[in-house]
Amino acid sequence: MESNEIVTLAYHLTIASAEDNGRAAEIAKELKRFQVEIEASYRPIVDAAHKAHKAALDELKAKLQPFEAAEKAVKAGMLAWAKQERERLAEEERKRQEAERKRREEEALAEAELLSTLGDAAGADAVMEAPIIVQAEVVAAPEKVAGVTVREVWSGECFDLLALARAVGEGKASPDLLMVNGPELNKMARAMKHALAIPGCRATVAEVMGVQA
C-alpha cells in the first residue's frame, strides 16, 4: 500500500464495529511502519546535519570566546572607572557644600556679633536662627566616549518564595509571578493518581494508545 493511500484511508475511516476497529488497528500498524521507514531513511541525514551544526557552533564559540572575554574585562574596567568618577564628583560637591555652609555660618556669626555689639540683640538672634540653605549644584557626569553607551538594566529577584506565595494568595501580587513545577507535579500525579490532594491542583488522566509496526 502506498503511503498517500494509507493516509487517505486513515482520514476516511469510520469505526462503528469490532470489524472496523480491527481494520483501524491494521491501518495504524501500517502508518507506524511508514513512520519507522521514514525515520530510518532521514535520521542519518538529520544527525549528520545536527553534528555539523554543533561542530560549527562550537568552533564559532571558541573563536569568539577570547574576544568576548577581553571585551567584558574592558567594559568592567570602564564601568568601575565611571563609578569611581561619579563618586569623586559627588564627594567634591559634598565638600563644596560643606565649605559654603561653613563660610555662611562664619559670616552669620560675624554679623550677629556685630549686631550684638551695637546693642541689637533681637537682630543678632534673628541672624543666628535664620536657616542656612546651600543650593546643590548638578554633579557633572563622567565624560562620554563616542560609540559607548551605559544604561541601567533592572531585574527582579525572589528571595522569599513563601512570602511571594502569600502575597499572591492575598491578592497583593500577580499569580503570573508563580510558576508551577510541571515535571514535579506530573511525577506526583503518576505516583498518587486520584489521591493527589494539593490545593489548587488535581490529577488528570488521558488514554494513550501504543502501536507496533
Instruction: Note the pLDDT of residue 1.
Output: 60
Residues 85 and 174 in one domain: no
Residues 136 and 169 in one domain: no
Residues 36 and 100 in one domain: yes
pTM score: 0.59
In a domain, 27, yes or no: yes
Instruction: Note the pLDDT of residue 147.
Output: 85
Domain that holds residue 57: 3-143
Instruction: Note the pLDDT of residue 146.
Output: 85
Residues 17 and 42 in one domain: yes
In a domain, 209, yes or no: no
In a domain, 41, yes or no: yes
Residues 165 and 133 in one domain: no
Residues 132 and 184 in one domain: no
DSSP track, 2-60: -HHHHHHHHHT----SHHHHHHHHHHHHHHHHHHHHHHHHHHHHHHHHHHHHHHHHHHH
Residues 177 and 135 in one domain: no
Residues 119 and 92 in one domain: yes
Residues 135 and 170 in one domain: no
In a domain, 114, yes or no: yes
In a domain, 108, yes or no: yes
Number of folded domains that form the chain: 2
In a domain, 149, yes or no: no
Residue 117 CA to residue 163 CA, distance in Å, equals 66
pLDDT tens series, the chain, 213 aa = 677 888 998 999 899 999 999 999 999 999 999 999 999 999 999 999 999 999 999 999 999 999 999 999 999 999 999 889 889 988 999 999 999 999 999 999 999 999 999 988 898 889 899 998 888 887 777 777 888 888 888 889 999 999 999 999 999 999 999 988 999 999 999 999 999 999 889 999 998 888 887
In a domain, 202, yes or no: no
Instruction: Note the pLDDT of residue 37.
Output: 93
Residues 101 and 52 in one domain: yes
In a domain, 204, yes or no: no
Instruction: Note the pLDDT of residue 150.
Output: 84
Condensed to tens digits (0 to 9), the pLDDT of residues 78-89 reads 999 988 988 998
Residues 74 and 23 in one domain: yes
Residues 81 and 118 in one domain: yes
